[in-house]
């Protein structure tokens, strides 16, 4: 029986491999996530971004700690409170709630949405200020035109509400349907966009 002889490992190669594994384990190769909170007429918003763009907008009811933990788990463990880096986003929210109709023009990082959900978010960006579209009509614009329920799920799990306006999607009977910020908030946002004034 012939013995198998394993050649000695290259120490430099092993060192580089060890560094890569260690970086992966500690998240050192993951992007930093910068965040701030913004006080708004609909409650405190959390806005988080990577170098690629705004990655998450969360409502107060979602819980700041839970949102930050999800960002750490799904993007990277370095979560940094750096309000100044997100001043442009804060100014956009101020303008939006004051009735300005400017679309959210800052870069977006959509890595938290995958597959069909990401496709739906792309179509949502085409729904203009003050417009409404039904879940069925939105589904008809996608690669799966009968996937009305999946469109509803994509809207309900939209990581970038307001910037990607899932609040403009309603049921075919005209009722508002579900919303991450709650149905009452959805009604208020639709009223803001139709009248220019956010109801109390």
Print the SS3 string covering 164-198. Answer: CCHHHEECCCCCCCCCCCCHHHHHHHHHHHHHCCC
- The answer for 130, left when phi > 0, alpha when psi is -120 to 50, beta otherwise, is left
Q: Is the pLDDT of residue 13 over 90?
A: no
Mean pLDDT of 163-174: 96
Task: Enumerate residues 6+ apart whose C-beta is below 8 A from 156.
Answer: 166, 178, 179, 180
Least confident of 23-27, 149-153, 162-166: 23-27
In this prediction, residue 6 carries a pLDDT of: 47
Catalytic one of 166, 169, 180, 192: 166
Whether 155 is catalytic is no
Domains of the chain: which residue ranges? 27-112, 113-200
For 27-112, CATH gives 3.30.160.70
Confidence of residue 45 (pLDDT cuts 50, 70, 90): very high
* pLDDT tens digit sequence for 122-153: 999 999 999 999 999 999 999 999 999 999 99
- Whether residue 49 contacts residue 84, with contact meaning beta carbons closer than 8 Å, is answered with no
Task: Enumerate residues 6+ apart whose C-beta is below 8 A from 141.
Answer: 123, 126
Q: Selecting from 1.10.10.10, 1.20.140.10, 1.10.1740.10, 3.40.190.10, what CATH number does the domain 113-200 have?
A: 1.10.10.10
Q: What is the pTM of this model?
A: 0.85
- Roughly how many angstroms between the first and final C-alpha of the chain, as a whole number? 85
* pLDDT tens digit sequence for 46-91: 999 999 999 999 999 999 999 999 999 999 999 999 989 999 999 9
Task: State the residue for tokens 């956010």.
Answer: 198
In this prediction, residue 116 carries a pLDDT of: 98
For residues 170 and 163, give the distance between their C-alpha atoms in angstroms, rounded to a whole number: 17
């Amino acid at each position: 029986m012939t013995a198998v002889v394993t050649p000695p490992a290259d120490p430099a190669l092993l060192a580089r491999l060890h560094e890569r594994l260690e970086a992966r384990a500690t998240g050192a190769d993951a992007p930093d996530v910068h965040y701030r909170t913004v006080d708004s007429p609909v409650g405190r918003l959390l806005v988080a971004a990577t170098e690629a763009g705004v990655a998450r907008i969360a409502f107060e009811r979602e819980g700041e700690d839970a949102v930050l933990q999800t960002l750490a788990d799904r993007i990277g463990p370095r979560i940094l409170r750096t309000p100044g880096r997100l001043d442009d986003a804060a100014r956009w929210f101020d303008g939006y709630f004051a009735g300005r109709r400017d679309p959210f023009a800052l870069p977006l990082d959509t890595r938290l949405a995958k597959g069909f959900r990401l496709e739906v978010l792309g179509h949502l960006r085409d729904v203009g200020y003050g417009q409404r579209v039904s879940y069925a009509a939105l589904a008809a614009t996608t690669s799966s035109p009968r996937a009305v329920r999946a469109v509803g799920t994509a809207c309900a799990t939209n990581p970038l509400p307001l910037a990607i306006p899932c609040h403009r999607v309603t049921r075919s009977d005209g009722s508002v349907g579900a919303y991450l910020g709650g149905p009452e908030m959805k009604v208020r946002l639709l009223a803001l966009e139709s009248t220019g004034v956010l109801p109390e």
